[in-house]
């Protein structure tokens, strides 16, 4: 699994059109948003499983990316009561070594990736985070105000 974590002041994801209808709406835009916290773009690889998701969430949840009263990054998401916006992002597995069109053969199969994406969200909820999500596989518009900017790349293969 791969996660691109952005510390944000606020972030939102909007699903529109046919994807909004598939997501259970009437086609009107559906927007999920958070305040201060993390926007996590999450990619699932071919060999990932529930243990991989747990390892990645454990690391992400304990990262000290927020500043304390002295300006040092000593506080975790839970320390600041932060929120989480989780957006599926299979393109984190893009392989650009050959040619000019990325290959996504290392990304997980869609059904299994969906299961692990949902498992990751449940792990965060279990730990008390307010979690909002995009719609898996949908075309989405993501808006954010990056705080810093502060962006961290996590790859479960090297944790």
Residue corresponding to tokens 């969200």: 121
Mark whether 120 is an active-site residue.
no
Phi, psi of 21 (to 5 degrees): -65, -45
Quick check: helix, strand or coil at residue 22?
Answer: helix
* Residues in CB range of 45: below 8 A, 6 or more apart: 1, 2, 93, 106, 107, 108, 156, 157
Of 66, 90, 120, 136, which residue is the catalytic one?
A: 90
Cα distance between residue 159 and residue 56, in whole Å: 8
Cα distance between residue 140 and residue 31, in whole Å: 10
Of 14, 52, 89, 133, which residue is the catalytic one?
A: 89
Mark whether 89 is an active-site residue.
yes
Mark whether 6 is an active-site residue.
no
Catalytic residues, by residue number, are: 89-91
């Amino acid at each position: 699994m791969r996660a691109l974590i952005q510390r944000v002041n606020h972030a939102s994801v909007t699903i529109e059109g046919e994807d909004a209808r598939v997501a259970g709406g009437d086609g009107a835009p559906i927007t999920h948003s958070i305040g201060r916290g993390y926007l996590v773009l999450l990619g699932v690889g071919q060999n990932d499983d529930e243990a991989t998701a747990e390892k990645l969430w454990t690391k992400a949840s304990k990262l000290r990316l927020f500043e304390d009263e002295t300006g040092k990054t000593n506080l975790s998401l839970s320390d600041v009561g932060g929120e989480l916006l989780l957006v599926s992002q299979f393109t984190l597995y893009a392989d650009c070594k050959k040619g000019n069109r990325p290959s996504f053969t290392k990304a997980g199969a869609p059904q299994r990736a969906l299961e692990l994406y949902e498992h990751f969200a449940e792990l965060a909820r279990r730990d008390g985070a307010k979690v909002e999500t995009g719609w898996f596989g949908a075309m989405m518009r993501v808006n954010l105000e990056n705080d810093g900017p502060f962006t961290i790349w996590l790859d479960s293969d090297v944790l």
